[in-house]
Structures are given as C-alpha cells and as structure tokens.
Structure 1
C-alpha cells in the first residue's frame, strides 16, 4: 500500500512518462517528419543530465558532459544520415511538442530515481503505468478510439501487444532497474543506442543500405556511452 508521498510520486511519473510524453510525442509527429523528430528526441540524455545536476543530486562532471555530447552527435548523425539540412529548418508547434517530450522523459527519469529510494522498480513502473493509463483514458474516449477497436486487423493488435510487452513493460522496468543501479545520467545516455539499432535492424531485416553515417554514428554513440560511464565506473571498482 502506497503512502501519500509515494502516491504523489507515482502520479507524477504517470503524468510525465506516460501521459505527457505520449501526448506530446504523437502531437509532434502530426506535423514533424520522423527523422527530424528523432533528432529532437535524441536530446533526451542532455535533458536528463541537466535535470539530474539541477534537482537530482548527480554532479555534472566534465567526463559525463563530454560523453553525453559525443553520444548525442552520434545519434543525430545516424538519424539524419549525414543530412545537415535537417538541423537548419525552423521550429513550429510540432517541434515544441517534441521538446516537451524531452522534458517529460527527463522528469520521469529524475523523479523515478527519487521514487525508487523506497519503491522497487517493478512497483514504480506498475503504479505509474496504471496512473498514466487512467489519465490517458479520457483522451481515448474523446477521440472514439475505443469504439474503433473492432476495425483493427490482427497485425495492428499484434503490433500493439508487442509495444505493450517489450516497449513498455520490459523497457520501462529494465530502464528503472538501471537507474536504481548505476544512476540516471549513466542510464539515460544508453537511449542514444535506440536510433542506432533501429537503422541497423533496417539493414538486417529490410535490406536497407549500410551507410557510412551509420558506422560513424555507431562509433560516436559507443564512445560517448563509454565516456559517460567510465569516470564513475573506475571509482566504484
């Protein structure tokens, strides 16, 4: 049974990591192309690092800052495929919504570490996901999404099931387990492996071309993750 303090924490987690993030993300994708959206989402480790230093009690060391920066550049290189033009277009409401995603996920990460001082990762994820789902329900009802369930084909249900189990339950749980074990900043920088693996699986499963930007980005992301984790890792051994 949750205490009032714990209830407030998981409610904030549901509002930021489930409600706020998803609403802002899909609103942004209505007007922003996927590649450009990916570039903005790649700023997640930067937001996590800054918020962790401001309110999370994790120091902003030069080594960590360098690692996050290198990893971010690598992720952007992979997503943009080396096309600098994606970085030079203007900012509209869609882009602002996606920056809101970054803020929501950064808050979800930092608040989550505080919440897990007296909650297990499984408890934090379960209650926050439940809270977020209940908060999303009025939006789903207002857009008649539940009434349209009968029109979805089996492939759509399979996709949703996959996202629910692997992308949400296991993904969120393992992420929180990592935060509890090695900290918010060191866990957050691994997010930049997401676009790398997305493009890599496109090469393996869909036969897409293996570009030089993927190889260069992979080297930068891996180097950045190593820098971010190496300084504190060496001290903990």
Structure 2
C-alpha cells in the first residue's frame, strides 16, 4: 500500500514540475534555472550514491562516453528546452506535450533496438499523437500548423526528443551501471555543462538576489522531483515491477493540468481536456503492450 502511495505522490510531484518551471522562469533565465535545479539534484544524488554504493565507481572509456551523452541529452538539452518552452506556453499544455515521451520512446526502441511494435502500441501511438494534436491546435487539428504551433511548443518537443535519446542511451549504459550511478553521473555532467550558459546569463551576479520563493521552487525541482522522485519510482519498479509502476506515469499530465488550474489559474478548455484524455489513453495502451 505504501509503495502505491509513493508512486502516486511521485506522479503528482512530477506533474508539479511544470508549474514550478513556469514560476521559476519568471525570476531566472532558462539556463540559470536549469543549473540551479541540477546543482541541487547532483548534491542529493551524489550523497545517495555514496550512501548506497560506498563510492562513485570509476568508468572506463565506453561508460564515460555513455554518461556524457546521458548528461547532455537528459539533463542539459532536456532542461534547456523545458525552461525555454515554459517561458511562453502554459504549464498544462507543456505537460501534455512531454506526456508523449513513452510514445516516441516506443518508436525509438522499435527503430534502434528492433523492439516489436504490437497492435496495442501502434494504436496507443496514434491515439496519443491525436490527443496532443487536439490540445496543441485547440481543437483545430486540420490547421495545426497555422499559428497554433508556437516556438514554445517546439521547445517542448525538443524535451521529448531529448528524453527519447536519454532513455535509449540509458538502455545501453544501464547494462553495466546501476540506474542510480548512471543518473548521478548524468546529473553531474549535465550540471557542469549548464553552468557555462548560466554564467553568460549572469548567474553569479544574480545568485545572491534569488528570492525565497524561487529557492523553494529550486529545491522542489532539485530535491523532491529529481532526487526523491527517482528514489520512490525506483522503489516502485523494484516492488511491483516496471510495467505496473509505469502506469502511474499517466497521472503526471493529469496532475499537471489540475495543479496548473488551481495554482496558476490556467483555463482547462474542452480541447485540452479531450486531448489530455487521449494522450493518457494512448500512453496507457503503449505501456500496456
């Protein structure tokens, strides 16, 4: 029972990252926000790794290349796109786009790892893409490219493709490294990479001017979402298995939309609601297969 509660809370926390991201970009530039988030995440994950593993294992050349790619895709690129996108589009809209991750991961796995695309997966992919198109186009799917697809939407699709790359590379990296070690290395590398564009944004000058609310958001993103979320989700995978644990991911866009409506007063339109339902259904079918 406890593990199910943790998985639900994890999904809610992950849904809240879109609201947190929308808030933080009002005070920090995108790369500065991403750097602060993963500086906190790296500290938390490094502490956890040292506690569980005893040390951060040394990597051979192939592993080093893999974790560098993980850091550059899943941390650097994903978060750059994430915060750039949230500067201009609603949190609920962003959540629905990012909810397409499993759909494109299924396609990527079929393309690069020859994973079988079952009928359920194909139906799920079509349904989720239709749902995203419905939400993005505000119900006008036929004319989706006519002023409906904004630069913010494109940034969020950048998130999706970055995460697909991270997941597929991670499938190789985690054949020899534990998920915790691989994630910790990825966070450390991504944080270092994020520091340089954050530096150009003036993070050193602004660091001591960051207000209390923004620091709370940074710790929410860095500790609750990245570190604690990883721990709880990994525990869920271990206890009830990856297939059942993955089902709870469907709650992320749902919680994001509800939290955005309550906390940010974002409007829940009919097209957003219908699109969200289709995306969740599609992702469920994709995972079920």
TM-score, length-scaled by structure 1: 0.75
The CA deviation at 1:102 is 1.7
- Does 1:130 pair with 2:215? no
Structure 1: how far apart are the matches of 2:266 and 2:85? Answer: 26
Number of corresponding residues: 226
Q: Which residue of 2 is the match for residue 25 of structure 1?
A: 82
> Could you say which structure has the greater relative contact order, defined with CA pairs below 8 angstroms and 6 or more residues apart?
2
Measure, in 1, the Cα distance between the counterparts of 2:283 and 2:84. 30
Question: What is the CA distance between 1:70 and its match in structure 2?
Answer: 3.0
Do the aligned partners of residues 103 and 203 (structure 1) sit closer, same or farther apart at CA in structure 2, a change above 3 Å counting? closer
The Cα of 1:58 is off from its aligned counterpart by: 2.2
| Gap change, CA 1:149 and 1:96, over 3 Å in 2 | same
Per the alignment, residue 139 of structure 1 pairs with 197
1:75 and 1:166, CA in 2 relative to 1: closer, same or farther beyond 3 A? farther
Structure 1 stretch displaced more, 141-150 or 52-61: 52-61
Query: Are positions 1:196 and 2:254 aligned together?
Result: yes
User: Using a 3 Å threshold, how does the CA distance of structure 1 residues 216 and 27 change in structure 2: closer, same or farther?
Assistant: closer
Give me the whole-angstrom Cα distance separating, in 2, the residues matched to 1:222 and 1:104. 21
Tell me if 1:99 matches 2:157: yes
Aligned residue runs from structure 1 range 1-237, under 5 A: 1-30=58-87, 32-34=88-90, 36-74=93-131, 83-84=139-140, 87-90=144-147, 91=149, 93-172=151-230, 182=242, 187=246, 191-202=249-260, 220-221=278-279, 223-231=281-289
Q: Secondary structure at the match of 1:146?
A: helix
Structure 1 range deviating more: 166-175 or 105-114: 166-175
Report the equivalent of 2:15.
none
Instruction: Return closer, same or farther for 1:25/1:146 CA change in 2, 3 Å cut-off.
Output: same
Structure 2 unaligned blocks of 5 or more: 1-57
Whole-angstrom CA distance in 2 between matches of 1:70 and 1:58:
20
Q: Judging changes above 3 Å, is the alpha-carbon distance between structure 1 residues 113 and 170 closer, same or farther for their aligned structure 2 residues?
A: farther
Aligned in 2, Cα 1:43/1:215: closer, same or farther, shift over 3 Å? closer
- Cα deviation, residue 146, structure 1: 2.6
What secondary structure does 2:203 align onto?
Answer: coil
User: Do 2:76 and 2:190's aligned partners in 1 also have CA atoms closer than 8 Å?
Assistant: yes
Unaligned runs of 5+ in 1: 232-237
RMSD: 3.6
Q: Assess, with a 3 A threshold, how the Cα gap between structure 1 residues 52 and 190 changes in structure 2: closer, same or farther.
A: farther
Relative to structure 1, the CA distance from residue 204 to residue 182 in structure 2 (aligned partners, 3 Å threshold; closer, same or farther) is: same
Per-residue deviation, 1:88: 4.6
SS of corresponding position for 1:58: coil
Paired with 1:203 and 1:61, the residues of 2 have a C-alpha distance of 36
Distance 1:132 1:213 in 2: 36
Give, in whole Å, the separation in 2 of the partners of 1:68 and 1:166. Answer: 30
